Amino acid sequence: MFTGKTILVTGGTGSLGKVLVRRLLQNELGAPHKIIIFSRDEAKQHEMRISYMNKRAATDEIIFRNFQRVLDFRIGDVRDFHSVAEALRSVDVVFNAAALKQVPTCEYFPYQAVMTNIGGPENIVRAIQELNLPVQTVVGVSTDKACKPVNVMGMTKSLQERIFIQANMRCPKTRFICVRYGNVLSSRGSVIPLFHDQIRHGGPLTITTSDMTRFLLSLDQAVDTIFAAYKDANPGETYIPRVPSARVVDLAAALVGDRPIQTVVTGIRPGEKLHEILISEEEVNRSVVRGSYYAILPMLPELNDGKEYAAALKREFSSADNVMAPSEVVDMLRHYHLMLDDNLQEDGELLR
């Protein structure tokens, strides 16, 4: 499916971007002609380039060969129309992973979030439309916080979804689709690396509230969702992974184990929800099952086929429902090798 294609990954040096690029370099869905890493941080691009140069082991041979052949690093910012337009030339597929995603940061600097999370997608659509670029597919990466948003991050991501969905009308030769998922285990800035760091330093572990729940999935599951949408989504559809959720206190307890570390409840941060939602009550009526995923059909009648579908759910898809038991949380963390071991350094820090 990607054989011979030129792929642009905005935000390609982020946690998701790096795993997405690795999977693309493994020729999982075919051998791309070129993969363009588009981001504004030269230090992260340099680190990523060096990491691939060091992948000479036999198990990484295909990645190393492809890195030399197809990877193209470009400095640019999705906020800047001209750099976006230049990067999009000769591109077949776009994965838009560039974002300001930290909830408190977006609350304190809301217009910065607007420029990246809304202005960036608009620049992609505008470039394709005004320059008549032959881009085949654009995949917008969204978040559960975009569903019934209460914070700036979610509001801007919700508008990103609407911009990309409506873009199917502005650029009818390009398929615009979205993916929406919950918290990614061990991604940059997420709660598990924070808990790891707090445990290494002897605590305390900080939890905002004891009732909070979150959807959880791995970085590879996030990429699986992106690939599934790319393969099967119709224009204007949003793909949702059918993933479990957990109480944050159970996540903390699983990581702490029997270590003598205190847990402190600090209160909900600006913009935080108690529970996250992946599909709202309104969206339930236009959601269908697609294998391991739900697909939300576009609300715009111009993008619908006019058929009636049986609703995939009877109520909203909330992290408060079907919460994993504490033992299941432990099993999940062990499966993804996210538990801390019990080796201690002389200074008392715990090693991963």
Of the residues 145, 148, 157, 273, which is catalytic?
145
- Residue among 205, 154, 152 nearest 340 (CA): 205
- Residue among 75, 68, 70, 43 nearest 54 (CA): 68
62 forms bridges with which residues in the sheet? none
**HEC letters along 24-53:** HHCCECECCCEEEEEECCHHHHHHHHHHHH
**HEC letters along the chain:** CCCCCEEEEECCCCHHHHHHHHHHHCCECECCCEEEEEECCHHHHHHHHHHHHCCCCHHHHHHHHHHHHHEEEEECCCCCHHHHHHHHCCCCEEEECCCCCCHHHHHHCHHHHHHHHCHHHHHHHHHHHHCCCCCCEEEEEEEHHHCCCCCHHHHHHHHHHHHHHHHHHHCCCCEEEEEEECEECCCCCCHHHHHHHHHHCCCCEEECCCCCEEEEECHHHHHHHHHHHHHHCCCCCEEEECCCEEEHHHHHHHHHCCCCCCEEECCCCCCCCCCCEEECHHHHCCEEEECCEEEECCCCHHHCCCCCCCCCCCCCEECCCCECCHHHHHHHHHHCCCCCCCCECCCCCECC
- Residue among 159, 309, 183 nearest 234 (CA): 309
For residues 95 and 9, the answer to whether their CB atoms sit within 8 Å is yes
Q: Any catalytic annotation for residue 55?
A: no
- The tokens for 255 are 């990581």
Catalytic residue ranges: 145
